[in-house]
């Protein structure tokens, strides 16, 4: 999952960077205003696709944690996984949800201000540009945090289920038959 996430996150970050850069050119923030209808439409379509892809990456990451958390819950209830280990897994899922909200929320907020842009130099244009840059920064931080959580989850998986895992030493849940 780490490599898959890394590929998706870098691709998404590049899409966001291109979208923000094109938006800065269209809005004239880089010294030259290129407000042609074609570029505005391209920026809009690229931004729409980027928002959808960003949501996809964050939701896919969260789904990974939901599935692993469910597996750990089942293992704690019906197998020999220690309940304390399940608590660690559930905490990783909660922490991933926070980063999902930051990443998705910032992109949706930036995208929602796009239609408010009335023309060059308007207050809404400046806000839209600032929110676009903030969304890029927020997602950079969110992707780094999610990658760290995925790495920790992978380490935990190896500890709990890997060849060196001491499942036999754990006590079976109450009411379960001993092997």
Spell out the per-residue pLDDT of the chain, length 179, in tens.
889 999 999 999 999 999 999 988 887 655 555 556 678 888 889 999 999 999 999 999 999 999 999 988 888 888 777 888 888 999 999 999 999 999 999 999 999 888 887 555 566 888 889 999 999 999 999 999 999 999 999 998 888 777 766 554 555 555 555 44
Residues 6 or more apart whose Cβ sits within 8 Å of residue 106: 131, 134, 135, 138, 139
Exposure class string for 100-122: b at 16+ Cβ within 10 A, else e: bebbbebbebbbebbeebeeeee
pLDDT at 159: 81
State residue 153 phi and psi, 5-degree precision.
-65, -40
pLDDT at 171: 52
pLDDT at 82: 82
pLDDT at 133: 95
| Cα separations in angstroms, 93 against 49, 53, 98, 101, 155 | 27, 21, 9, 13, 15
What is the value of pTM for the model shown?
Answer: 0.80
pLDDT at 168: 47
pLDDT at 91: 94
């Amino acid at each position: 999952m780490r490599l898959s996430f890394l590929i998706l996150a870098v691709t998404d970050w590049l899409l966001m960077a291109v979208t923000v850069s094109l938006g800065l050119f269209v809005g004239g923030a880089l010294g030259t205003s290129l407000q042609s209808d074609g570029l505005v439409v391209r920026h809009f379509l690229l931004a729409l696709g980027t928002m959808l892809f960003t949501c996809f990456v964050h939701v896919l990451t969260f789904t990974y944690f939901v599935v692993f958390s469910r597996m750990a819950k089942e293992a704690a209830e019906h197998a020999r996984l220690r309940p304390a280990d399940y608590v660690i897994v559930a905490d990783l899922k909660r922490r991933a949800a926070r980063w999902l909200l930051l990443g998705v929320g910032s992109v949706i907020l930036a995208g929602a201000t796009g239609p408010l842009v009335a023309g060059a130099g308007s207050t809404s244009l400046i806000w839209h540009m600032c929110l676009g840059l903030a969304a890029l920064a927020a997602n950079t931080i969110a992707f780094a945090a999610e990658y760290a959580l995925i790495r920790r989850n992978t380490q935990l998986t190896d500890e709990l289920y890997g060849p060196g895992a001491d499942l036999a030493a754990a006590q079976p849940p109450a009411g379960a038959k001993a092997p």
